[in-house]
Structure formats: structure tokens, C-alpha cells
Amino acid sequence: MVPARSSFMGLNLTSQSDLPECMASFSLQAPPNTDLWRKPPARDTSTAPILYTALRRPFIAAEVTVTADWELEWDQGGLVIFAGLPTGRTEPVPPSSVSHSVPVSGPGRNGSSGNSNSSNNSSSSSTLRSRAGSAGTAAGTETANSTTETRTTNNDSAPTSTSPPPPYVTPMPAAKWVKAGFEFCNNAVHASSVCATSDGADWAVAPLTQCTTSTPSASSTRSGYPSSVSVSVPQHELRVKLERIGYALWIYFLDGSLGWKKLREVTWFFWGVEDKAIRVGVYASRPANFGGFGGGGGAASTSQRHGRRRNHHNHDNYYLHQQQQQQSQLSHSQNCLFVEFDDLEIY
């Protein structure tokens, strides 16, 4: 079942308008130095162009055919599935609705709100009154004032008002993900898979059966007798599949002569994961670094030298600038990996 275009989101694309019109057949352009990878401690590389969708139903399977001119080490493309938000995506944290209240007044440090101080002061005032009547009245006044000051001091020791502390947000662990598809390494194409947890990622590849073709040999041309030799032809196309079986994620690839072959079983992928947290899509990446996209900087320096010589010819500078931009764009485009995706199915 081909998913609707409106349900897809783009990651590391120029803009959301770069989404293909038809999700059954489209392509992704991966510039140099792009990758989806994870190394401990929680160091994520998420620069690869990705198209993904959040499912409305429990995930069952996804498959796609991947095609490209694989030529540089670690060129790759295929399916990717996330158990949570893709790396590089964040969701706003809703404001906390928990209210915090602090009592405005309460007992003093001794728990009696100053009552013991009042009784002590009262006994002192009685002694004073027994010694002198006129002095007793003044002593009683001082006692009342002392009691008032004691209560005020005890009440001031408790906080009268305070702002609620900020809500504690539990750090979310890095989302686990799996990518599987075509990868070029050691001068050969492979079916590859990478599984990532919060601790890091691993990598596994399986060699593909080389396509062979027969061509006339030199001896047959000289002798006139038909003979041929088998020549290996690099494979440029691969169909890959992800399938859920229980809590496990199975990875397959389609071998032209043997049919579907099992590549890997990820036993823990769906354990503890809600169905609504699954995101699945496609990716392409070219981890090779060209260091400035293959000579773009040299073209810029040449145009600047010519521009300083002919500043009085503004139109010459304009055309030189346009030529520089065209050369830079052409160099950038030539260094990109173009991966085609056909017959995408997610169900």
C-alpha cells in the first residue's frame, strides 16, 4: 500500500516543498558528508536526507526497491524505522499543570506559636506587680509588647509567598532506530543493516550475488567456434523489506536467484514501544567528505582575482559571478549521490 504524500515529513531537506509528488517512485539527493550514525556516549550524526511517516495503525511491514550508481565508500540508501522521534526532531514540552502551594502562616519553630513565651512573660509581670503597683502596669505593657514581637518573629521565619519551582522533565532516552538497504564498501555492493540503541550503533553487511553476463571471447572470434566468458556485472538495484514478528524486527533482501533472504533479526526493537511511536521511511547518505565539494573554492578564488582587475567593468564581474555560481552548483550536484526509490509499500 503506497502511503499518501501528505502524511510524510522531510528531515535534512531544503524545504518541506521538496517532498516528491508521487511516493510510489521518487529520488533523494544526498550531498557529501551526510550520514545517519550513532557513537557513544550518545553522539548522533543525523545529516542524511530522510522521508518518513507516522503510522495510524500498528506497523506490519515496509519494502522498497533502491537503485543508484554506487561508487564511493559507504554510499548507501534504503529503509529506516524509528521507535520514537527521528534523531534531530524535537517536540515542545507542554506546560506543567501541577500547582504548588506553600502555607502562608504556621507555628513557630517550637510548634507553639509563641504561647510559651507569653506565659513566661506573664509570670514575670506578676512578680513586678507584687513589688510595685505603678511599676506593674508598665511591666505589663512591656510584656504585651514582648509577646507581640515574639509572635511576629516566629511568623516571619515561615515563607509568606514563593513562586513554584520549574517542573522536572525526565530526560528522554535516545530513540532506537534501524536502517537497512544497499551499501557500497570494499569496492563491492552489499546488503547492509545498522541497529542503534541509546548506547550506540552496530553495523553488518552481507555480500550480494554478482550478476553475470556472457560475452564472446577472443578465441571464438579467431577460430570461428562459438565460445563465451562470464563477466561479473556490478549490481545497482536491491529490494529490501522490514517486517514485524512479535516484538522482533526482521530484515530481508531480495536475491534475484534465491528470492527473499533473511539478513537480520532485531529481537528487542518493538519491546516497550507504543504503536503510535513508530516512524518509518527511506533515507540516502554519502558519508564521504569532499572537503568543499570538489574544487568549488578554487573557482571562487579565480573569479575574485579577475574581478579585482576589472572593477570598472561591472557587467564582466556580474557574468563572472554567475559563472562561478553555476560551476559551484554543477560541482556540488556532481558530488551528490542520487538514490531512486521505487514501489514503496508501508502497511
Give yes or no for a contact between 100 and 165, defined as CB atoms under 8 angstroms apart.
Answer: yes
Is 276 strand, coil or helix?
helix
Give yes or no for a contact between 288 and 33, defined as CB atoms under 8 angstroms apart.
Answer: yes
| Residue 129: partners with Cβ closer than 8 Å, 6 or more residues away | 135, 136, 137, 139, 140
Give yes or no for a contact between 192 and 205, defined as CB atoms under 8 angstroms apart.
Answer: yes
Q: What is the pLDDT of residues 142-196, one digit of tens each?
A: 444 444 444 444 545 555 568 888 887 766 677 899 999 999 999 999 999 999 9
Which one-letter amino acid corresponds to residue 160? T
Q: What is the pLDDT of residues 211-247, one digit of tens each?
A: 555 556 555 555 565 555 555 555 789 999 999 999 9
- What does the block give as the cell for 143? 510584656
DSSP string, 116-141: HHHHHHHHHHHHHHHH-HHHHHHHHH
Torsion of CA 87, 261, 256, 203, to 10 degrees: 40
**What is the pLDDT of the chain when averaged over all its residues?**
74
How sure is the predictor about 256, in pLDDT bands with cuts at 50, 70 and 90? confident
Helix axes of 296-309 and 314-334: crossing angle, nearest 10 degrees: 180
pLDDT of residue 109: 44
Reference 333, options 273, 303, 293, 305; nearest CA is 293
More confident residue, 23 or 140: 23
Cis geometry, peptide bond prior to residue 207 (ω within 30 degrees of 0):
no
For residues 187 and 70, what is the distance between their CA atoms, to the nearest angstrom? 9
Reference 59, options 83, 29, 88, 34; nearest CA is 83
- Which residue has 562470464 as its cell numbers? 230
pLDDT of residue 150: 47
Give yes or no for a contact between 174 and 44, defined as CB atoms under 8 angstroms apart.
Answer: yes
For residues 51 and 67, what is the distance between their CA atoms, to the nearest angstrom? 16
pLDDT of residue 182: 95
C-alpha distances (whole Å) from 9 to each of 17, 57, 94, 97 are 10, 17, 22, 30
Q: Is the model's pTM score more than 0.75?
A: no
Query: Poorest-confidence range of 81-85, 243-247, 298-302, 343-347?
Result: 298-302
pLDDT of residue 132: 43
H/E stretch holding 278 = strand 278-285
Scored b (16 or more CB within 10 A) or e, 254-278 reads beeeeeeeebbebeebbeebeeeeb
For residues 18 and 12, what is the distance between their CA atoms, to the nearest angstrom? 10
For residues 50 and 279, what is the distance between their CA atoms, to the nearest angstrom? 11
Angle (CA) 23-332-33 rounded to 5° is: 75
Query: Poorest-confidence range of 83-92, 97-106, 228-237, 247-256?
Result: 97-106
